[in-house]
Amino acid sequence: MTAADVDATVGAALAELGVDHHRREPGQFLVTLPGTNRLQTHCWLLVREHALFVQAFVCRQPDEAHDAVYRFLLQRNARLYGVHYALDRVGDIHLIGRVGLHAVTAEELDRVLGQVLEAADGDFNTLLELGFVTSIRREHAWRQDRGESLANLRAFEHLFT
């Protein structure tokens, strides 16, 4: 299968799956996956000569407890399909993967994008709790003192007692 064939397959598969996406240029798709904990996850699909590359930003570099965050990511990697957690040069957390061109089908794309969404959305609050607990507590106190809404901090209520 050529890169042009894979480009066509990816475009058709995303349309068939009803996934929100934007084609930047040939071989470059920016997919937007809706979530619950993380409202959206943007995922790049990049068709190259030998593989389809997958990359999604998950979370910025943690403020604290780096060892706990990295331990969580390494342990989580053992249970992921088609993608794995990685750090960029500034320490931000991404999900990345590679699918051989011969294996790119609508079913495989659905499986990999499903894993990206499940991991990015499902692990998001855990990553925030591990790596940003001080900031979360400070934000809660600031909002409480000013009578601001605490609605989007409900997932972390157990941290405020």
Q: In this predicted model, what pLDDT tens digit does every residue of 38-80 receive, in sequence order? A: 999 999 999 998 999 999 999 999 999 999 999 999 999 999 9
Residue written as tokens 């997958």?
Answer: 54
What is residue 11's predicted lDDT score, i.e. its pLDDT? 95
Is residue 124 within 8 Å of residue 156, measured between CB atoms? no
Is residue 140 within 8 Å of residue 109, measured between CB atoms? no
pTM over 0.85: yes
Q: Could you please report the per-residue DSSP string of 2-60? A: -HHHHHHHHHHHHHHHT-EEEEEETTEEEEEEE-SSSSEEEEEEEE-SSEEEEEEEEEP
Is residue 54 within 8 Å of residue 29, measured between CB atoms? no
| pLDDT beyond 90 at 161 | no
By three-state DSSP, how is residue 123 classified? helix
How confident is the prediction for the chain on average, in pLDDT?
95
What phi, psi does 44 have (nearest 5°)?
-85, 135
Residue 16: closest CA among 137, 129, 109, 85: 109
How far, in Å, CA of 7 to CA of 113, rounded? 16
pLDDT tens, residue by residue, 148-158: 998 989 999 99
Query: Thinking of the domain 3-132, which architecture would CATH place it in?
Result: 2-Layer Sandwich (3.30)
How far, in Å, CA of 120 to CA of 94, rounded? 9
